[in-house]
Amino acid sequence: MRSLALLPLSFTAVALAEPKLDFAYGILAEQRGDQAAAAAAIEKARVADPSAFPLVARVAGYKQRQGDIEGASTLYREFAKGHPERLDAQLDYADFLRSSTPDDDFATKMARDTLEAARKQFPDNLAIERRLFRIYEGLEQRDRSRAIFEALARPHATPSDTLAALEMARTLFSKDDESARAQLDEMLKAACQQSPKNAVLARAASEHFRTTGRVAEAAEILAGHVAAAPSSLELRTRLGILQLAAEKPAEGEKTLLAVLEIDPRQALAHQTLAKLYRKQGRIPEALPHASEALKIRGGDPSEFLQLADEFLAADQPREARLLLEKAVFFNQSDASLAVKLAVASRRDPETRERASLLFRQAENLSGQDGPAGDPVFLQEFSEILLQDGQTKAAEERLRAAIRAFPAEQRKETAAAMRRLAGIWQKENRNAEAANSLLQRADSLDPR
């Protein structure tokens, strides 16, 4: 009896759920690629629940894609007129009119009328004002679009209104309009003073001053923002860059170092400091920052190789190794990186004992005519082979290194010759060849 009593309630629940069920069927059909079934199911849901605007918009979208612009327009228009309290319906209808027939002045005017009616219900709504501005410009009604700009550029405007006014100004005024520039300057400074923590506003205001050739003012805007929002590291970094551009290197350096004290993984701060230090000839200070920037943001293998060479030339094999380990992790098939990592690992006391395997792996990866033919690699590999008692293999690589050194590297070539001759002399063999090799070495690099 109790089950029978509940039957009417169950049927009612199913009936009430039918629009949602039809909508679900429509989405499922859409995912399966059956557009006709999807359109039919969602249209059925719309008829059952005509007040659901998302269903109206979806059905209108189907009609528009099928070329039924009139049918889609009817759906949007009737819903918008019947639900003036729905801002989304007014906006979507206006957008539809403009997008479906962009060159039709009649449709544009209908969109204008729709938005102007919505404006009465939703005064000072930025979404409406932006659309009306574009429509007025398209209809060459500059007095109306200018009035929207002036209303948004008012004193004590919200950050959103200020940003919208700045965007509209690019359409309304020429770049050399000094009066307009002065108005924008005043508007942006006032807005930044009123909302100093707003990062989007600060960036836009700073860019306004920078792109009009006033770097010092651009930096001043960001300085005010950073003072109010110390954790705004992206714009703090930008401030440091602007200070450098304004020929204030000490201030810029201080700002960027402060950024890295808060977050050492700010790649742009590292990159900018590296560039500054190189420009100032402070190479030992530049290299660590260049390395951190590469490790954080990644880069082309050639960038890693070039920087690793700088570390090795500065007798900093550990730093070269750490950098190359990062590069090899992301480029495991790059033989040039593997070759350089092997060399750096042998020169680094921390990893010298483990370098043998790296040399063998690099040589296998490189192949016969690959980067393992680099004379420095061959020379370093020969030392490892000698330590392992593989004298013949070491000799082969020293001979290859001697042949591979460029003609201008006379000192390096001579060192390889002396090393090979020393091996023969130590083992009391090839005496004449050893003496001849030493004579050639002395001719290249007299002692």
Q: What is the pLDDT of residues 332-344, one digit of tens each?
A: 999 999 999 999 9
According to DSSP, residue 122 is labeled S
Please return the burial class of 55, using the count of CB atoms within 10 Å of its CB with bins 0-12, 13-18 and 19+. buried
Phi, psi angles (nearest 5°) of residue 241? -65, -40
Which pLDDT score is estimated for 430?
87
Q: Helix, strand, or coil here: 212?
A: coil
Please state, in angstroms and rounded to a whole number, the distance separating the CA atoms of residues 58 and 146: 35
Which residues of the chain are modeled with pLDDT < 50? 1-17
**Residue 50 has what DSSP assignment?**
T
How many angstroms separate the CA atoms of 263 and 283, rounded? Answer: 23
- Tell how far CA 443 is from the center of its chain: 55
Distance, in Å, from the CA atom of 226 to the CA atom of 254, rounded to the nearest integer, reads 14
Q: Which two tokens stand for residue 338?
A: 């593997």
Task: Note the pLDDT tens digit of each residue in 321-366.
Answer: 999 999 999 999 999 999 999 999 999 999 999 999 999 999 999 9
**For position 3, what pLDDT does the model report?**
44
Nearest alpha-carbon partner for 184 in 159, 160, 210, 205: 205
The Cα 324–Cα 315 span in angstroms is 15
Q: Which of these, 330, 337, 331, 290, lies nearest to 314 by C-alpha position?
A: 290
Q: Are 64 and 100 in contact (CB under 8 A)?
A: yes
> Chain-wide mean pLDDT for the chain?
92
Residue of 149, 219, 218, 141 whose CA lies nearest to 177 = 149
Amino acid identity for residue 84 in this structure: P
In whole angstroms, what is the distance from residue 297 CA to residue 291 CA? 10
Q: How far apart are CA 345 and CA 392, in angstroms?
A: 23
Q: Residue 435: which of 415, 416, 413, 420 has the closest Cα?
A: 420
**pLDDT tens readout for residues 391-410:** 999 999 999 999 999 999 99
Residue spans of alpha helices (H) in 212-266: 215-228, 233-245, 249-262
Q: State CA 388 to chain mean position distance.
A: 48
Classify residue 101 by its DSSP letter: S
pLDDT at position 18: 83
Q: How far apart are CA 143 and CA 440, in angstroms?
A: 89
Any residues with CB less than 8 A from the CB of 445 and at least 6 apart, and which? 410, 411, 413, 414, 415
At 433, the amino acid letter reads: A
